[in-house]
Amino acid sequence: MTARRAPRVPVRPSVSGLPAYVPGARTPVGAAAYKLSSNENPYPPLPSVVAAIADAADDVNRYPDMYASELVAAIADHLASSSAQDPLAAEVAPFRVTPENVVVGNGSVAVLQHVLEAVLEPGDQVVVPWRSFEAYPIVVAVAGGEMVPVPLTDDARLDLPAMAAAVTDRTRAVLVCTPNNPTGPAVRQDEMDAFLDAVPSDVLVVVDEAYVEFVRDPRVVDGLATLDRHRNVVLVRTFSKAYGLAGLRVGYAVARKRLARAIRATSTPFGVNHLAQHAAIASLAARDELLVRVENVVAERDRMVGLLRDRGWDLPDAQGNFVWFPLGERTVAAAAEAAAAGVLVRPFAGEGIRVSVGEPEATDLLLEVSASWR
């Protein structure tokens, strides 16, 4: 009897061809390494946030609030008060964020996935800057889209004129990462305005502002003011970086009501768990305390960049909580040297190393290690 194998379940070719997301190297328990590989917040959660998580633990036999109403209301409140203080937004009728404009998800990567699922038909193109956030190729392909990568400029910035030129009648969305992970520069408002004037109003422009709290260049995009002026803009933000909740997975989109409804419709039911909802609410309540920490990280970033430039490094503008070393072919060896010296960094083979800003002692060690990279 000839053995005949039953046919196998086919995997979507766009899925079997996907690159795996490479997480930043993790510190083995008890090891003395500094983990500067995942752009995390170096500070442990605030006691008030830990208390909120502990309180919420008593209720985890119940499903969480499906639409995270309390959290969504808190986010809308926070955004409405920040746009009210914003002089740019005040020039035009300010976009008042209401809960109907906010959609939360299991980290902003999931939110981004849902945003694309809400608008893409199979084969639609998504224009993406590249090198940029490594989740982008994955979310685009999973949503059934085709990624059109547009190279960065020589100084590692998004090339918005080239991105606008890459938009065709097959384009349904564009991803704008500002500040750009892993290179660091942020998009300026004048670049964004010119870009949005050039892009058709039926192409969705997703502005990924994962690091917005760390930006100090006053000329950069004001997301809410931009959303106010353009109906095709969606903002995506996260509690993972400045708010220090990477382990709990909470992110959100801010969009016009019609688009927000569509994003909600594609979202995983109960996607944000109960502990995460309460931790995020407590974090918004402790925002001022958290922003002091952000200020410390920004100061540490600027100290690191300043010292590196003094030593002759030509580095791109660092507006996030990380610094980019364009090392090209030396990348993998340099990352291994850093690991051996006790600093875990994130290498992008053949391109460069991204180093997250953490403790001052980690910066000092990194400065020592990087001396041999030049």
Ligand X SMILES: *Cc1c(COP(=O)(O)O)cnc(C)c1O
Footprint of ligand X (CB under 6 A): 39, 107-109, 133, 177, 181, 208, 210, 238, 240-241, 246, 251
Task: Please give the helix or strand (H or E) that residue 182 lies within, else none.
Answer: none
CB of 252 to ligand X, least distance (A): 9
CB of 248 to ligand X, least distance (A): 9
Q: How many Å apart are CA 30 and CA 8, to the nearest integer?
A: 44
Question: CB-wise, 99 or 320, nearer to ligand X?
Answer: 320
- Closest by Cα among 309, 15, 265 to 138: 15
CB of 178 to ligand X, least distance (A): 9
Question: CB-wise, 43 or 342, nearer to ligand X?
Answer: 43
Cβ neighbourhood burial of 28 (10 Å; 0-12, 13-18, 19+)? exposed
Q: How far is CA 188 from CA 86, 202, 282, in A?
A: 16, 22, 32
- Closest by Cα among 213, 252, 293, 236 to 103: 252
Question: CB-wise, 125 or 181, nearer to ligand X?
Answer: 181
Cβ neighbourhood burial of 147 (10 Å; 0-12, 13-18, 19+)? middle
Strands (E), the chain: 34-35, 102-105, 125-130, 146-151, 171-177, 204-208, 233-238, 251-254, 322-325, 343-344, 346-348, 352-356
Question: CB-wise, 203 or 206, nearer to ligand X?
Answer: 206
Question: CB-wise, 64 or 184, nearer to ligand X?
Answer: 184
Q: How many Å apart are CA 199 and CA 351, to the nearest integer?
A: 30
Q: Extract the tokens encoding 180.
A: 């750009």
Closest-CB residue for ligand X? 107
CB of 163 to ligand X, least distance (A): 16
Q: How many Å apart are CA 347 and CA 268, to the nearest integer?
A: 32
CB of 94 to ligand X, least distance (A): 26
Question: CB-wise, 67 or 133, nearer to ligand X?
Answer: 133
Cβ neighbourhood burial of 361 (10 Å; 0-12, 13-18, 19+)? exposed
CB of 274 to ligand X, least distance (A): 18
CB of 241 to ligand X, least distance (A): 6
Question: CB-wise, 242 or 304, nearer to ligand X?
Answer: 242
CB of 253 to ligand X, least distance (A): 11
70 with 277: CB under 8 angstroms?
A: yes
Question: CB-wise, 89 or 212, nearer to ligand X?
Answer: 212
